[in-house]
Protein backbone atom coordinates (compact mmCIF):
# COMPACT_ATOMS: atom_id res chain seq x y z
CA UNK A 1 0.00 0.00 0.00
CA UNK A 2 2.84 2.37 0.93
CA UNK A 3 4.51 1.68 -2.37
CA UNK A 4 1.25 2.44 -4.18
CA UNK A 5 0.93 5.76 -2.36
CA UNK A 6 4.53 6.65 -3.24
CA UNK A 7 3.90 5.79 -6.88
CA UNK A 8 0.66 7.79 -6.81
CA UNK A 9 2.43 10.84 -5.33
CA UNK A 10 5.16 10.50 -7.91
CA UNK A 11 2.56 10.34 -10.69
CA UNK A 12 0.81 13.42 -9.36
CA UNK A 13 4.12 15.24 -9.12
CA UNK A 14 4.97 14.32 -12.72
CA UNK A 15 1.53 15.43 -13.88
CA UNK A 16 1.94 18.77 -12.14
CA UNK A 17 5.42 19.23 -13.60
CA UNK A 18 4.07 18.35 -17.03
CA UNK A 19 1.28 20.91 -16.69
CA UNK A 20 3.79 23.52 -15.58
CA UNK A 21 5.97 22.76 -18.61
CA UNK A 22 2.97 22.99 -20.91
CA UNK A 23 2.01 26.29 -19.44
CA UNK A 24 5.45 27.69 -20.18
CA UNK A 25 6.63 30.97 -18.79
CA UNK A 26 4.33 33.55 -17.32
CA UNK A 27 2.68 35.48 -20.16
CA UNK A 28 3.90 38.98 -20.92
CA UNK A 29 0.41 40.46 -20.77
CA UNK A 30 -2.28 39.60 -18.28
CA UNK A 31 -5.40 38.16 -19.86
CA UNK A 32 -7.82 39.49 -17.24
CA UNK A 33 -6.35 42.97 -17.49
CA UNK A 34 -6.60 42.98 -21.28
CA UNK A 35 -10.24 41.91 -21.12
CA UNK A 36 -11.13 44.95 -19.03
CA UNK A 37 -9.72 47.40 -21.59
CA UNK A 38 -11.16 48.88 -24.74
CA UNK A 39 -9.82 47.26 -27.92
CA UNK A 40 -8.88 49.31 -30.95
CA UNK A 41 -6.93 48.40 -34.07
CA UNK A 42 -4.90 50.56 -36.40
CA UNK A 43 -3.14 49.92 -39.66
CA UNK A 44 -1.45 52.94 -41.11
CA UNK A 45 2.24 52.27 -40.87
CA UNK A 46 2.85 53.13 -37.28
CA UNK A 47 1.16 56.52 -37.34
CA UNK A 48 -1.97 55.16 -35.72
CA UNK A 49 -3.93 58.27 -36.43
CA UNK A 50 -7.11 56.29 -36.81
CA UNK A 51 -8.07 53.48 -34.48
CA UNK A 52 -11.16 51.45 -34.92
CA UNK A 53 -13.04 50.24 -31.94
CA UNK A 54 -13.54 46.49 -31.92
CA UNK A 55 -16.66 45.21 -30.27
CA UNK A 56 -16.93 41.72 -31.69
CA UNK A 57 -16.30 39.63 -28.58
CA UNK A 58 -15.28 36.54 -30.54
CA UNK A 59 -12.64 38.54 -32.37
CA UNK A 60 -11.38 40.07 -29.13
CA UNK A 61 -11.16 36.64 -27.52
CA UNK A 62 -9.16 35.33 -30.46
CA UNK A 63 -6.73 38.25 -30.35
CA UNK A 64 -6.22 38.03 -26.60
CA UNK A 65 -5.77 34.29 -26.74
CA UNK A 66 -3.10 34.55 -29.45
CA UNK A 67 -1.27 37.33 -27.63
CA UNK A 68 -1.38 35.86 -24.15
CA UNK A 69 -0.56 32.32 -25.20
CA UNK A 70 2.12 32.90 -27.80
CA UNK A 71 3.97 36.22 -27.42
CA UNK A 72 7.47 35.69 -26.07
CA UNK A 73 9.86 38.39 -24.95
CA UNK A 74 13.03 38.63 -27.01
CA UNK A 75 14.60 41.67 -25.42
CA UNK A 76 13.83 45.15 -24.22
CA UNK A 77 14.03 47.96 -26.72
CA UNK A 78 17.62 49.22 -26.86
CA UNK A 79 17.91 52.96 -26.98
CA UNK A 80 19.80 53.37 -30.22
CA UNK A 81 18.45 56.82 -30.83
CA UNK A 82 14.97 57.96 -31.46
CA UNK A 83 12.33 55.27 -31.21
CA UNK A 84 11.18 55.59 -34.80
CA UNK A 85 14.73 54.94 -35.93
CA UNK A 86 14.57 51.43 -34.63
CA UNK A 87 10.92 50.67 -35.03
CA UNK A 88 11.11 51.76 -38.64
CA UNK A 89 13.74 49.15 -39.32
CA UNK A 90 11.12 46.61 -38.41
CA UNK A 91 8.32 48.42 -40.15
CA UNK A 92 10.24 49.57 -43.20
CA UNK A 93 7.75 50.74 -45.79
CA UNK A 94 9.28 48.88 -48.70
CA UNK A 95 9.75 45.54 -47.04
CA UNK A 96 6.93 45.69 -44.54
CA UNK A 97 4.07 47.43 -46.24
CA UNK A 98 1.66 47.12 -43.39
CA UNK A 99 2.05 47.26 -39.66
CA UNK A 100 -1.28 46.47 -38.10
CA UNK A 101 -1.46 47.13 -34.40
CA UNK A 102 -3.94 46.42 -31.66
CA UNK A 103 -4.34 48.58 -28.57
CA UNK A 104 -5.87 47.64 -25.27
CA UNK A 105 -6.40 50.91 -23.49
CA UNK A 106 -8.47 53.15 -21.31
CA UNK A 107 -8.00 56.88 -20.77
CA UNK A 108 -4.69 56.99 -22.61
CA UNK A 109 -3.17 54.10 -20.71
CA UNK A 110 -2.76 50.53 -21.78
CA UNK A 111 -0.85 48.23 -24.07
CA UNK A 112 -0.08 48.12 -27.77
CA UNK A 113 0.89 45.10 -29.84
CA UNK A 114 2.53 46.13 -33.09
CA UNK A 115 2.91 43.46 -35.74
CA UNK A 116 5.72 43.17 -38.22
CA UNK A 117 5.30 41.24 -41.43
CA UNK A 118 5.58 37.45 -41.04
CA UNK A 119 8.63 37.63 -43.28
CA UNK A 120 9.72 35.66 -46.31
CA UNK A 121 10.03 31.91 -46.37
CA UNK A 122 13.81 32.16 -46.57
CA UNK A 123 14.15 34.50 -43.61
CA UNK A 124 16.61 33.17 -41.06
CA UNK A 125 14.01 33.83 -38.38
CA UNK A 126 11.01 32.60 -40.30
CA UNK A 127 10.09 30.24 -37.46
CA UNK A 128 9.76 33.01 -34.90
CA UNK A 129 8.97 36.35 -36.53
CA UNK A 130 9.05 39.59 -34.61
CA UNK A 131 6.58 42.01 -33.12
CA UNK A 132 6.75 44.79 -30.55
CA UNK A 133 4.77 45.33 -27.40
CA UNK A 134 4.47 48.68 -25.65
CA UNK A 135 3.04 49.71 -22.32
CA UNK A 136 2.00 53.31 -21.88
CA UNK A 137 0.21 55.47 -19.41
CA UNK A 138 0.40 58.95 -20.82
CA UNK A 139 -1.42 58.58 -24.13
CA UNK A 140 1.84 58.71 -26.06
CA UNK A 141 2.18 54.97 -26.70
CA UNK A 142 5.67 54.89 -25.28
CA UNK A 143 7.11 57.38 -27.74
CA UNK A 144 8.78 59.22 -24.95
CA UNK A 145 12.31 60.33 -24.27
CA UNK A 146 13.04 57.00 -22.71
CA UNK A 147 11.33 54.47 -25.00
CA UNK A 148 13.39 51.63 -23.58
CA UNK A 149 11.22 51.82 -20.52
CA UNK A 150 8.08 51.10 -22.51
CA UNK A 151 8.91 48.99 -25.52
CA UNK A 152 9.71 45.30 -25.64
CA UNK A 153 10.75 43.42 -28.76
CA UNK A 154 8.99 40.06 -28.91
CA UNK A 155 8.64 36.99 -31.08
CA UNK A 156 5.83 34.56 -31.80
CA UNK A 157 5.85 31.11 -33.38
CA UNK A 158 5.31 31.64 -37.11
CA UNK A 159 1.90 29.97 -37.23
CA UNK A 160 0.33 32.14 -34.54
CA UNK A 161 2.14 35.26 -35.70
CA UNK A 162 0.62 34.83 -39.16
CA UNK A 163 -2.81 34.20 -37.62
CA UNK A 164 -2.69 37.38 -35.55
CA UNK A 165 -1.20 39.39 -38.40
CA UNK A 166 -3.89 38.28 -40.82
CA UNK A 167 -6.62 38.79 -38.25
CA UNK A 168 -5.60 42.42 -37.77
CA UNK A 169 -5.12 42.93 -41.49
CA UNK A 170 -8.55 41.57 -42.23
CA UNK A 171 -10.22 43.66 -39.54
CA UNK A 172 -8.58 46.86 -40.71
CA UNK A 173 -9.07 46.11 -44.41
CA UNK A 174 -12.73 45.34 -43.89
CA UNK A 175 -13.15 48.49 -41.83
CA UNK A 176 -11.35 50.53 -44.48
CA UNK A 177 -13.51 49.09 -47.23
CA UNK A 178 -16.64 49.83 -45.21
CA UNK A 179 -15.38 53.38 -44.66
CA UNK A 180 -14.78 53.89 -48.37
CA UNK A 181 -18.22 52.50 -49.18
CA UNK A 182 -19.67 54.89 -46.64
CA UNK A 183 -18.02 57.83 -48.38
CA UNK A 184 -19.18 56.68 -51.82
Partner 1 sequence: MKAVKRKKAMGMMAVLAALTICLSACGSSIEDLGPGDRFVDLDELLDSEATICNDMSGSKHISGSEWRMHEVTEQETLEVIAPILEKAEIFRPITTADTYVGDPEFNEEFSPYAPWMVFQGTDYEYIVWLLDVREQLSNDYIYRDEPALAIVRRTEDGEQAYYCFLTAYDYSVLYTVMNRYVSDFDAHVTYMVD
- Give the footprint of partner 1 on this chain (CB under 8 A): 1, 3-5, 7-8, 11, 15, 96-98, 117-118, 120-122, 124, 126, 157-159, 161-163, 165-166, 169, 173
- Cα separation, 176 vs 184, in Å, equals 12
> Exposed e or buried b for every residue in 108-143, given b needs 16+ CB within 10 A?
eebbbbbbbbbbeeeeeeeeebbbbbbbbeeeebbb
Name the minimum Å distance from CB 11 to partner 1: 6
Name the minimum Å distance from CB 158 to partner 1: 4
Nearer to partner 1, 12 or 78 (CB): 12
- Rounded to the nearest 10°, the torsion over CA 80, 154, 31, 110 is 20
Name the minimum Å distance from CB 71 to partner 1: 16
Nearer to partner 1, 25 or 122 (CB): 122
Nearer to partner 1, 119 or 147 (CB): 119
Nearer to partner 1, 7 or 73 (CB): 7
**What's the chain's length in residues?**
184
Nearer to partner 1, 118 or 142 (CB): 118
Name the minimum Å distance from CB 66 to partner 1: 11
Name the minimum Å distance from CB 175 to partner 1: 14
Which residues lie closer than 8 Å to 172 by C-beta, 6 or more apart? 41, 42, 43, 52, 100
| Edge-to-edge order in the sheet of strand 52-53 | 52-53, 38-42, 101-106, 109-115, 130-136, 151-155, 72-76
Amino acid sequence: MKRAIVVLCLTLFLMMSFSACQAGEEPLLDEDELRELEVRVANDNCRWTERWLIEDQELIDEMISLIVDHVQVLRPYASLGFIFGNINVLLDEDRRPYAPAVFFQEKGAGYGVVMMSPGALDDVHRDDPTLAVVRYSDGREGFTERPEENWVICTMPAFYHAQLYQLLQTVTSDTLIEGVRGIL
